[in-house]
Amino acid sequence: MSALIARLQSGKGYLISAIIVAGLQTVILGTIIQSRAAILSNGTEVLLKTAPVDPRDFLRGDYVVLNYDISSVPVQTIAGGIPVKPGELTLWVRLKKQEDGFWTVIESAFQSLPPQPETVVLRSLPFYN
């Protein structure tokens, strides 16, 4: 134990400590990067139709906002009805690839949808009813 204290006091311990800290930071950053890369490599690519909206704002001027075709879910696709109880809701949407290559909504529900072949289930951000 006294040898470790002597090494730390001599200045060599600072170098060893710095190397250990740098190694830990590298491992942590590598883990974060790998987890995000796994999402990209294992996920399904979904091509969505976009509709440009060109709003004019007095303070920001002209700018472009893209609305996705799936941003508005048709009521006919909602299985199980719409909850009447107010509060935070999450909508699950099932998409299927069409012949033109774009994905469209085929089913949606306010409870989790089971996986099906050749479809993708997306979960919306929570919103309030």
Q: What distance in Å separates the CA atoms of residue 63 and residue 121, rounded to the nearest whole number?
A: 31
Q: How many residues in total does the chain contain?
A: 129
pLDDT of residue 128: 82
The domain segmentation of the chain, as residue ranges, is: 2-42, 72-128
pLDDT of residue 94: 95
pLDDT of residue 44: 85
Reading the chain (129 residues) residue by residue, the pLDDT tens digits are 667 666 656 666 778 888 999 999 999 999 999 999 988 888 888 899 887 776 666 676 666 777 888 888 888 888 888 888 888 889 999 999 999 999 999 999 999 999 999 999 999 988 887
Sign of the Cα torsion 72, 36, 96, 127 reads negative
Q: What distance in Å separates the CA atoms of residue 46 and residue 74, rounded to the nearest whole number?
A: 19
